Structure 1
Amino acid sequence: MRCCKKVRQGGEFDPDLAAKPEPAKADVAYERILPLLYSYTEPDQHLREQVLASKLAMGRTPVREALQRLSAEGLIVSKPQKGFFTRPLLEGPLLDLYEVASENLISAMYRMPPQVHESWTVEYKVTPDELAARAEAIFVKIVEESSNCESCRIGRRFCLCTRPLRMAIIMSELRTDFIQSLTRLLAAMAHVGTATSLAESALLDHLDFERRNISRIVADVNKRRPPSME
């Protein structure tokens, strides 16, 4: 997700603000681990330092520092003497995430209405990963176009922390309902700027669809967890 500090008033890119000194290794590790986290779709999944260091061709120290930062930001969980894990799937925290995200996304939409690319479509044959990414791409587009760093931070956290829930919904019998809801959202987003209230309604409807199924999905997923997992 781009940093909105690189955008001038009106959305113009400022090359002077983009000029930065060479980033620290821990910062590089952080930025490279973030997208990898989307591949960890199970709650309480172990994020092994050695595995990540090998994938990134980096030392374990910057990887550990990056994981500590991610934990401090609430994107992952640190367990003493065990390491770092993806967040557990808990109903209360998820409901809180959706409440904050709804306000954030609607506010961002009206600050700088996004323009969804016309080629964005939803097909029944796409993989669960691709379906989840389509929905998250809409959320990310909205917050990025708002040119507000705090909005981007909230949006990024929402997408990442709710990915396991979204994947579970898509992989259940709710897949067709998810696709239909997302299709309506995409159609409405294409008219932002001329019928923003329509896009707002479709966005809230889709978020509400995901939120309504939190209790059910959390119960199903946690029921399937191995007994050895805490």
Structure 2
Amino acid sequence: MNNNNNNKQDFGIIVTLWKQVTVTQDGKVPLDTFLTAAKEVLRVVDAFGSGFRMVKNDIAGNIKKLYRANQSVQATTLQDLVISENSPDGLATVALLWLKRAFQFIASFLRRLVLTEKSLEQCVTEAYDCTLRPCHTAFIQKVFWAGVKLAPSREGFYRKLHPDPKVVESRIKEFLIELHDPLCSIVQFYVQRGLESECKGDEIYQQKNNSDDWLLESGEDN
């Protein structure tokens, strides 16, 4: 019974799925593989506990909106779907904007968690400050901080992902490496089209680089 439970919680499947999200030569992100992989990241959000239900619902809702927006377009990449709407208020344009912001937050948080000795709350706070906070109203910020107070410790968070913390850290690093190029492509796309001015995120997710060592340096980005 325990083995089955551990296999269910082990987010190794996330790494496997993100390896399949290959950015095209012209810098576009395949829609289907990205959204399939994005859904599995909800496992990570689940590890925060009930306090982050708002974040989970937001991610899941925006994934559904992107699928719905593509029913009539049948675009093969996220960028092509947004381009087809040609509107900053389009369903897919707004949904991907917020999904991008959520992933900037998650990536920023996880990178701090595995590369520093800071508490989980510190990592969440720093990640939120440079990603989602500038985009949220005062009310939403209060809801978010209330959720942070319910978050587990670093050890508790790790245990919900895998019984061995070393395995968790290793797989988080793998995930960050696989997420980097797709996320960078989306971030650059929104900036270039003038669709993002609030969520800056860590500098490391604003440019591509072929060096995994560079991605996993522990220096502060903001």
Alignment TM-score > 0.5, same fold: no
Which structure carries more helix by proportion?
2
Q: Which has the higher contact order (CA 8 A, sep 6+)?
A: 2
Q: What TM-score do you get using the length of structure 1 for normalisation?
A: 0.29
Q: What TM-score do you get using the length of structure 2 for normalisation?
A: 0.30
